[in-house]
Amino acid sequence: MASRQWLKRGLGRWRWHRRPNVSALEDRRSGAHPVAGRALSSRSEPRDPSGKANNFADYDSMRRDFSLTVPDHFNFAGDVLDKWAQIEEQQQGFGEPKPALWWVGAGGGDGGEERWGFRELAERSRKAANVLTGACGLGRGDRLLLVLPRVPEWWLLNVACIRAGVVLIPGTAQLTARDVRNRLLACGARCVVTDESLAPLVDLVLPECPRVSSRLLVSAAGRRDGWLSFRDEFRAASSRHECVKTDSKEVMTIFFTSGTTGSPKMTVHSHGSFGLGLTTNGRFWLDLTPADVMWNTSDTGWAKSAWSSVFAPWTQGSSVFVRAMHRFDSRTVLKTLVDYPITTFCSAPTAYRMMVQEDVASFKFRSLQHCVSAGEPINPEVMEAWKRTTGLDIYEGYGQTETVLVCGTFKGMKIKPGSMGKASPGYQVEVIDEQGEVVAAGEEGDLAIRIKPQRPPWLFTEYLDDPRSSAATERGDFYVTGDRATRDRDGYFWFVGRADDVILSAGYRIGPFEVESALIEHPAVVESAVTSSPDPVRGEVVKAFIVLTKEYKSRSPQPLIAELQDHVRTVTAPYKYPRKIEFVDQLPKTVSGKIRRVELRKKEWDRS
C-alpha cells in the first residue's frame, strides 16, 4: 500500500512530507471508515485535477451502489470525530498529525494561527462540553444560541454541544438587538454564547428573555459583568467527559432560515440528518479524502457552514481550513488559495463573480484542484471565466437549510453550465405539478423530493412550533422545495426561480435567473437582481436592479439602459428583456449572501 503524504511547513512554504508505510495500522483498524463503512483512502499524492473522482467510478454507479444505514443511536462527536482521533493516535510516531482544524487569523499568519489534530479537537471539545454542562448548567436537550464570527471556538463549541447533547442554534455575527431578541424568544435558548461585540446587544434585550439562565463570553482577554468567561472556565474544566448516547432522531441543531420569503423559520435537524446525511456531500460532491484541505468561505451563522465547514469534511477525515475575514475581499481570498495548500474550495456565486473581476490568472494555485459553488445559481459566464483563468471547473450544488445536497454536478459528469446537475445519492428528486404528479422532461414545475413510502432520514424534521408551515412543504408523495425548475432528457435539473420569484408578464412565465445570466454577460454589469414590477397593460414586467462596474458608473444612464435592454434581447427570448432598469450601489442580501428579491419586489409593488 502506498504511503501517505502529509503537510509540513518549512522555510515559509508548504511542502509534501512523505510518511512511513501505514498499511499495518490500516489492517489493525480493518480499513473501516467511521461513517461510510468504506476503506480509508490510501491516496498518497495530491489529487489529479483531471476531473476523475476519488470516491466513485461514475454517477450511475454512485447512485446505484449508495447505501447509508442509520443506526438507532448516533453522535457525530463520539462516532466520527473520536474515531478519527483514535486513528491519529494509532499513527503516532509517523510525523506531525494532519490538522483537523486549521485556522488562520484576519492578518494571515501574522494574525495568529491554530492547527488542531483530531486528538486535540477531541480533548478540547470534551473540556468545552464540561463547561456547558458544568458552569453553564445545561443538560441534554437544552438549547444554546451560538453567535460567533470565524474563530476556533465556534468549531469547538459546535462539537461540544453535540458531545453533550445540547441543541445548537447558530446565528450570524451580523445580528441586531432585535434579531437576538426574536431568536431567543422563538427558540427558548437557556444559554447565549457570543463575543464582546455582540454581548451588549444581548444585555440590552435580556430583560425580555427570561428563559436565558447563563451567558458565556468568548474573548481573548476581556471579562464582562454577568457573563461567564469561556477562557477561564475552559482552563479549569476537566478533559474527561462521556459522550452522550444520542438517538439518531433526537434534535441536534436548529437553524433559522435565511428568510428569502418572509420571517425566518426554525428548521430542526436531527443527529442523523446532518451528522450522517452530509456524508453524501463530503464523499460525492466534494469528493474529499483524508489528504484534502477544505476551505468553505460561508458565514458561521448559515447552514452551509455546517455542510462544508463541519460535517462533510470531517466525515471524510479532511482538514477544515478557516480564514478569518472581517468582510469578503477577492484579493485576500485569491492570495490565500496561493499561500496555503487548499485542495477543495467552496464559495457563493457572488464571491466567484467578484473574484473573476480580478486578474485571476496572476494567482498561481499550487494545490487547488476542486471548486464548488452553492447558495444560489451561478451564472454560466462566471463559470467560463473561472475555467479560462484557472483551468478549473466550478461544480454547482443545490440544497436548502432543510436538506443535504439535493442535486449537483459530480466529478466525471458532463458539466452543463447553468444546470444544478443531477439528483444526489439518497434522494429521489422530481419536478411535479400542482397535483403532485411528475411532469414530462422540459416542462416547468416545482422541484420536489419523494418522501413516500419512506421519508429520507437526511431531510429536516420540522419547522419548530410551526405545524402549518411544516405541513405546507408536503404535496402528495413529495416534499416541495419552493423552487421552480425543469429537468432535461439527460436528467439534469435547471433552476427557474423561487416559486414566488417567477414573473408572469402578458401570459409569459419568466424566471429571473435567465435574465440575470444574460445581463452579467455585458461588461457593464457586476451583479443584478431581477424581479417583477407592476404594469397596467401586461400586469407585470421584468425589472432589473443592476450594480455597475467602475468603468460604466459615469456613463449616461438612458443610453446605457437601452444598450443593456438590446443586449438581453440578443441573448435570450425578446419577451424576457427588462423593460425597467434601475442602477443601484448594492443589492439587498440575506446574511448567507442570497439576494433578497422579495425585498426588491415589495419595494416595486408598494410604489404602485
Class at the top of the CATH hierarchy for domain 428-499: mainly beta
Predicted confidence (pLDDT) at residue 271 exceeds the cutoff of 60: yes
Cis peptide before 99 (omega within 30 of 0): no
CB 96 within 8 A of CB 119: no
How many C-beta atoms surround the C-beta of residue 12 within 10 A?
7
| 66-276 maps to CATH 3.40.50.12780 | yes
CA distance 21 to 1: 7
Model confidence at 44, pLDDT cuts 50, 70, 90, reads: very low
Class at the top of the CATH hierarchy for domain 500-607: alpha beta
- Nearest partner of 276 among 441, 127, 458, 62, judged by Cα: 458
CA distance 152 to 378: 30
CA distance 112 to 106: 8
CB 352 within 8 A of CB 392: no
Q: What pLDDT does 608 receive?
A: 72
Q: What pLDDT does 305 receive?
A: 94
Mean predicted lDDT score pLDDT of the chain:
89
Predicted confidence (pLDDT) at residue 179 exceeds the cutoff of 80: yes
Q: What pLDDT does 19 receive?
A: 32
3-state secondary structure at position 576 = helix
With cell 437549510, the residue in question is 401
540-572 in b/e burial notation, b at 16+ Cβ within 10 A? bbbbbbbbbeeebeeeeeeebbeebbebbeebb
More confident residue, 289 or 220: 289
Model confidence at 21, pLDDT cuts 50, 70, 90, reads: very low
Mean pLDDT comparison of 203-217, 348-362, 495-509, highest-scoring range: 203-217
Helix (H) or strand (E) holding 7: strand 5-10
- Nearest partner of 443 among 486, 496, 482, 498, judged by Cα: 486
Rounded mean pLDDT of 504-531? Answer: 90
Helices of type H across 78-176? 82-90, 118-133, 152-164
CA distance 375 to 32: 33
CB 289 within 8 A of CB 2: no
CA distance 266 to 551: 43
For 154, residues 6+ apart whose C-beta sits below 8 A from its C-beta are 146, 148, 300
CA 291 from centre of chain: 21
How many C-beta atoms surround the C-beta of residue 294 within 10 A?
26
Rounded mean pLDDT of 76-85? Answer: 98
More confident residue, 160 or 50: 160
Q: What pLDDT does 52 receive?
A: 80
Q: Tell me the per-residue pLDDT of 543-562, one tens digit each, with 9 for 90 and over.
A: 999 999 999 999 999 999 99
Q: What pLDDT does 326 receive?
A: 81
Q: Tell me the per-residue pLDDT of 425-448, one tens digit each, with 9 for 90 and over.
A: 999 999 999 999 999 999 999 999
Q: Tell me the per-residue pLDDT of 185-205, one tens digit each, with 9 for 90 and over.
A: 999 999 999 999 999 999 999
Predicted confidence (pLDDT) at residue 234 exceeds the cutoff of 60: yes
Domain residue limits, the chain? 66-276, 428-499, 500-607
Q: What pLDDT does 378 receive?
A: 86
With cell 503537510, the residue in question is 7
- Nearest partner of 593 among 358, 404, 328, 325, judged by Cα: 328
Query: How many residues are given for the chain?
Result: 608
Predicted confidence (pLDDT) at residue 70 exceeds the cutoff of 60: yes
Comparing 26-30, 369-373, 565-569, which segment has the lowest mean pLDDT? 26-30
What is the end-to-end Cα distance of the chain in Å, rounded? Answer: 71
Model confidence at 301, pLDDT cuts 50, 70, 90, reads: confident
Q: What pLDDT does 17 receive?
A: 35
Which set of grid coordinates corresponds to residue 152? 476556533
pTM > 0.75: yes or no: yes
Is the C-alpha dihedral spanning 159, 160, 162, 163 positive or negative? positive
Q: What pLDDT does 499 receive?
A: 81
Predicted confidence (pLDDT) at residue 588 exceeds the cutoff of 50: yes
Q: What pairs with residue 320 in β-bridges? A: 101, 294
Predicted confidence (pLDDT) at residue 36 exceeds the cutoff of 60: no
Model confidence at 257, pLDDT cuts 50, 70, 90, reads: confident
